[in-house]
Structure 1
Amino acid sequence: MDYDPFSDAAMRDPHAQYLELRKKSGPYFIEKYNAWALVHFDDIWKVSVEHEADMTFTAGQPLTNVLLNEPVPHAFPSMDLSEHRKWRRIVHADYTKSNVESDRPRIEALARELLAPLVERGRFDFYTDYVNRLFAINAGHNLGLGRDESIEWRRLIDETMHRETGQVGTSSPRNHAAAMALFGQLHAYVEGLRRNPERAGGHIRKYLEAEVDGRRLENQDIVSLLVIFLTVGSGTTPNVCAGAVYYLAQHPDQQQAVLGDRSLTPRAFFEAARYDQPTNILCRRAIRDIPVGGETIRAGQNILMVYASGNRDEAEFERAGEFDIFRSCPRDLTYGIGGHKCLGMHLATMAGTIALDEFFRISGRYRVDSANCTRAYGEFLSGFDHVPVELGA
């Protein structure tokens, strides 16, 4: 088949294409982009674990950076392992399991606050009215931002990632207008912090004060970090939560099980992440030849880690194409694997489970308006971005 990650079919819902691609062993070569798509679980796992030193992250990780040569932000996600670790270490302690757990009461209170007026309405959009706001506010809190700033800047980030049918890359007037507004506001914010450093909080205070190998971050570096932390801190876990609510409604027996025993909520979260992985694809570029699946990725060629395909690989998961919260998954690719594995995995798991559990606490046997659900359209993120729900008795 002719697979292109920027095609309309791939950006709407690529799983049918991934199923076809997995019928052939090994990676799939996309000549147009001089790129290999790794669609099998084991190929992604082995290359990530055994060949990290044979790849560079400096070309970026989103497809638009690596395949289309869009500008790469200078921040630790786009650094190779040695430098990556030094800059990641500045906030690493904030994301350990024990430190994340100390934030549980605050996130529970936030979830209840946001849900209270929605319960009164009885019908609302689970994604836009609830979890998207919850995670935007929480991501902003970790950066030392206020609620209004967090929500508005998250909205502008969403606008920069909006794709029209047939659009390739960040190329529309709508994208450019949002980017101009976003970066203008962020630069003004950072310049204000330089003049009044006592106003800085959270991660941004730490990065403003940090020095690594004699280098301090410039304003553009801080702006890049703000965008990255807001994007990853509020852009994938809400999709997982929305997916969990949607798929449970499609499987009434599993929905009833969770509502009757909320200790099953983490299972619903992880199965939704496996079944409908929100981080569809991240990229690398080979700097040395890499043997994989009977093929050889040559130095200079691009690599697509197709996590959404790997998490439905029949060779790794029994009945991989079925949603089943009771399955056992010794391994998965939900948070990636290797030295660039997701920094916020413990926070995402805890906060995602809280968001779901607080909803299940008040929802009753809820209903989903499936006809009006929509999925994110794009090359990077995947999953539901509108899930209208109606609370039960």
Structure 2
Amino acid sequence: MSNPSPVYWDPFDREIAEDPYPTYRRLRAEAPLYYNDRHDFYVLSHWDDVNRSLVDWATFSSARGPILEVIKANIKIPPGTLLMEDPPIHDLHRRLLARVFTPRRVMSLESEIRDFCVRCLDRLAGSASFDLMAEFANEVPMRVIGMLLGIPEADQAAVRERADAKLRTEPGKQMKVSAKALMDTDLFADYIDWRAAHPSDDLMTELLNAEFEDETGTTRTLTREEILTYVTVLAGAGNETTARLIGWLVALLDRHPDQRADLVENPGLIPNTIEETLRFEPTGHAIARYVTKDVELYGQTVPAGSAMMLLLASANRDERRWDGGECFDVRRKIDQHITFGIGTHYCLGAALARLEGRIALEEILARFPTWDVDWDNSALSSTSTMRGWEHLPISVG
């Protein structure tokens, strides 16, 4: 049966966001290049198109930001905001962060992450029910970012709440955008001054001491303002996304109890379950780019100066790329998904997110081999940039 009305996709429409996948299927089939005239942006939804565009940073630029509202606001972005830069300056700043965000440092956090998960879940073990997001999923990435940056445990909740608040939107409305709101650096000013006087084995101390060659060829350390920018980006980037990943792991395994039982029997499948969950329910559904020159796509011209939305969540289920892409399968062979991006802007925190997700799921399954989600009282978060659970009450035992 054909659809009587033209396909419509709008990232600010809460009704579509409840289950956007039927709309994504229609976009791929009916409008592989889609134009939203209400908000004036274009959309690509097929795997090949999204991949090519992510790699072609010269045409599909990040220099005006990766969020539609930020591109439209045309805000001056402070240097060091990696998500909002193109090469060559992006590569210089990324190399500096990569030096202090190494695989060794990430893996060194495993025992601390596990200790925190154990403490948190042991506290919940006697409960018949609890909100997974409030009592566990939101706590884990907040503590981990705190460990990395050296933010005192007593202040970590405030950091998370301010980072999350910047992403919240009223249903049907866009994010309120300003340079100050995006880069809320004053929150970290006191920490940096204190850490400069009290060095430790954390990322903030390394940023204070790191020497590098800047774009003028000068060898120097980062300015205080540059460090504030880096720390703000890191603190915001890791909190919301990883919490949503943990929420989706629990929600999807509730909907697929046979696969959950398989994981209990075969915990070696847990890393692949993380990948399948990232593919099937990515926390960020779309990433925006600024089009720097006229581009011909599907017989149409996308003019220079346009905003382009790249639908990662659609590409991750594209039937041209995935057999049974609309099905969740923890045993699926996955060579690549694009939830963490690809190319220049591949997520620096991908290994950390995977580590947190794996440990969290291992410890949840060790205590609660079964659970039931209270779907009537569950709620998705209200944001145009992330899709995940605000509340996910579960009963256990």
Over 3 Å counting, the alpha-carbon distance change for 1:71 and 1:5 in structure 2 is: farther
State how many pairs are aligned: 385
Q: Partner of 1:52: helix, strand, or coil?
A: coil
Q: Which residue of 2 aligns with 1:86?
A: 92
Query: What is the rounded CA distance, in whole Å, between the counterparts of 1:80 and 1:306 in structure 2?
Result: 20
Q: Match for 1:348: what amino acid?
A: A
Over 3 Å counting, the alpha-carbon distance change for 1:225 and 1:97 in structure 2 is: closer
Contact 2:373-2:393 at 8 Å conserved across structures: yes
Matches within 5 A, 1:30-109: 30-49=36-55, 51-69=56-74, 72-74=77-79, 75-109=81-115
Contact 1:68-1:169 at 8 Å conserved across structures: no
Contact 1:26-1:292 at 8 Å conserved across structures: no
Query: What is the rounded CA distance, in whole Å, between the counterparts of 2:200 and 2:296 in structure 1?
Result: 47
The answer as to 2:128 corresponding to 1:154 is no
The counterpart of 1:230, out of the listed 232, 235, 246, is: 235
Deviations, residues 166-222 of structure 1 (Å, cap 9, x unaligned): 322227xxx99x9599654334444555xx443576332333334542376444443
Q: Which residue of 2 aligns with 1:205?
A: 205
Query: What is the rounded CA distance, in whole Å, between the counterparts of 1:36 and 1:122 in structure 2?
Result: 47
The answer as to 2:373 corresponding to 1:339 is no
Contact 2:64-2:75 at 8 Å conserved across structures: no
Deviation at 1:135, TM superposition (A): 0.6
> Where does structure 2 lack aligned partners over 5 or more consecutive residues?
1-6
Q: Match for 2:233: what amino acid?
A: I
Q: Which residue of 1 aligns with 2:3?
A: none
Deviation at 1:94, TM superposition (A): 4.4
Deviation at 1:117, TM superposition (A): 0.6
Deviations, residues 50-102 of structure 1 (Å, cap 9, x unaligned): x2222322101122211344564431221112211211112314444444223
Q: Which residue of 1 aligns with 2:9?
A: 3
Q: Partner of 1:81: helix, strand, or coil?
A: coil
Over 3 Å counting, the alpha-carbon distance change for 1:29 and 1:379 in structure 2 is: same
Deviation at 1:301, TM superposition (A): 1.7
Q: Match for 2:158: what amino acid?
A: E
Q: Which residue of 2 aligns with 1:381?
A: 386
Query: What is the rounded CA distance, in whole Å, between the counterparts of 2:182 and 2:352 in structure 1?
Result: 31
Query: What is the rounded CA distance, in whole Å, between the counterparts of 2:225 and 2:97 in structure 1?
Result: 19
Deviations, residues 253-287 of structure 1 (Å, cap 9, x unaligned): 11111112211112222222111110122111122
Bigger mean CA deviation after superposition, 297-306 or 237-246: 297-306
The counterpart of 2:35, out of the listed 23, 29, 38, is: 29
Contact 2:185-2:229 at 8 Å conserved across structures: no
Q: Partner of 2:243: helix, strand, or coil?
A: helix
Q: Partner of 1:390: helix, strand, or coil?
A: strand
Moved over 6 A (4+): none
Query: What is the rounded CA distance, in whole Å, between the counterparts of 2:327 and 2:169 in structure 1?
Result: 29
The answer as to 2:362 corresponding to 1:357 is yes
CA RMSD of aligned residues (A): 2.7
Q: Match for 2:124: what amino acid?
A: L
Q: Match for 1:345: what amino acid?
A: A
Q: Match for 1:222: what amino acid?
A: I
Contact 1:162-1:378 at 8 Å conserved across structures: yes
Q: Which residue of 2 aligns with 1:143?
A: 149
Q: Partner of 2:117: helix, strand, or coil?
A: helix
Query: What is the rounded CA distance, in whole Å, between the counterparts of 1:349 and 1:333 in structure 2?
Result: 14
Over 3 Å counting, the alpha-carbon distance change for 1:321 and 1:246 in structure 2 is: same
Query: What is the rounded CA distance, in whole Å, between the counterparts of 1:205 and 1:137 in structure 2?
Result: 18
Q: Match for 1:223: what amino acid?
A: L
The answer as to 2:191 corresponding to 1:186 is no
TM-score by length of 1: 0.89
Contact 1:259-1:365 at 8 Å conserved across structures: no
Q: Match for 1:79: what amino acid?
A: E
Query: What is the rounded CA distance, in whole Å, between the counterparts of 1:223 and 1:129 in structure 2?
Result: 30
Q: Partner of 2:382: helix, strand, or coil?
A: coil
Over 3 Å counting, the alpha-carbon distance change for 1:230 and 1:12 in structure 2 is: farther
Query: What is the rounded CA distance, in whole Å, between the counterparts of 1:151 and 1:223 in structure 2?
Result: 19
Q: Match for 1:371: what amino acid?
A: D
Q: Match for 2:34: what amino acid?
A: Y
Query: What is the rounded CA distance, in whole Å, between the counterparts of 2:190 and 2:76 in structure 1?
Result: 21
Over 3 Å counting, the alpha-carbon distance change for 1:57 and 1:181 in structure 2 is: closer
Identity %: 25
Bigger mean CA deviation after superposition, 150-159 or 180-189: 180-189
Q: Match for 1:5: what amino acid?
A: P
Matches within 5 A, 1:194-343: 196-199=196-199, 202-210=202-210, 211-213=212-214, 214=218, 217-343=222-348
Contact 2:121-2:136 at 8 Å conserved across structures: yes
Q: Which residue of 2 aligns with 1:113?
A: 119
Q: Partner of 1:236: helix, strand, or coil?
A: helix
Deviation at 1:363, TM superposition (A): 0.8
Query: What is the rounded CA distance, in whole Å, between the counterparts of 1:180 and 1:42 in structure 2?
Result: 31
> Where does structure 1 lack aligned partners over 5 or more consecutive residues?
none
